[in-house]
């Protein structure tokens, strides 16, 4: 019986260390319908090691989507909900990007980040770091 518990604990620890990196931030949508977790990618994968990943979770804590943002934790970044279904990222290595949550709970890249969305991202950046560094 002790051996079974030891095996389960060991597997649990190994599973938590593999794959997705630590959660850096959590952002609840305005209605509370979704939670966005920002995390680092897989440490064992050079492509994802410092990459920012988004994990979208619903109220029942079910993972709806997991995406690579294209941004990294090497440069400063900030994320905010623009509205209940749109997320904007302001990253000093890739610029401003947006995603919208579709009816299936998947994050879909926004083709053009409009000025009000970019302004919201810049405000989130200023709130996080105290200043932005770029004129907007």
> Each residue of 71-121: pLDDT tens digit?
988 889 999 999 999 999 999 989 899 999 999 999 999 999 999 999 999
Task: Output the CA–CA distances (angstroms, integers) from residue 103 to 39, 56, 85, 113, 121, in the order listed.
Answer: 24, 13, 10, 20, 24
- pTM of the predicted model as reported, rounded to 2 decimal places: 0.79
Distance CA 6, CA 12 (A): 10
The number of beta carbons lying within 10 Å of the beta carbon of residue 79 is 24
Domains in the chain: boundaries: 21-129
Distance CA 28, CA 44 (A): 29
> Each residue of 20-74: pLDDT tens digit?
678 999 999 999 999 999 999 887 877 777 899 999 999 999 999 999 999 988 8
Q: Quickly list DSSP for 7-33.
A: HHHHHHHHHHHSSS--EEEEEE-TTSS
Look at residue 135 and tell me whether its pLDDT is greater than 90.
Answer: no
Lookup result for tokens 């959590």 = 26
What does residue 117 show for φ and ψ, rounded to 5 degrees?
-65, -45
Give the pair of three-digit tokens for residue 96.
């401003």
The number of angstroms, rounded, from the C-alpha of 37 to the middle of its chain's C-alpha atoms is 5
The CA dihedral of 57, 63, 64, 67, to the nearest 10 degrees, is 90
């Amino acid at each position: 019986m002790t051996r079974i518990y030891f095996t389960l604990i060991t597997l649990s620890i190994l599973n938590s260390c593999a794959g997705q990196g630590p959660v850096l931030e959590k952002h609840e949508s305005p209605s509370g319908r979704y939670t966005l977790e920002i995390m680092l990618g897989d440490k064992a994968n050079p492509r994802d090691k410092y990459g920012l990943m988004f994990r979208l979770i619903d109220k029942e804590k079910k993972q709806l989507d997991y995406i690579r943002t294209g941004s990294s934790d090497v440069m400063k970044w900030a994320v905010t909900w623009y509205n209940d279904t749109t997320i904007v990222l302001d990253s000093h290595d890739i610029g401003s990007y947006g995603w919208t949550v579709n009816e299936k709970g998947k994050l879909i890249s926004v083709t053009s980040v409009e000025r009000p969305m970019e302004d919201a991202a810049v405000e989130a950046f200023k709130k996080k770091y105290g200043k932005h560094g770029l004129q907007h």
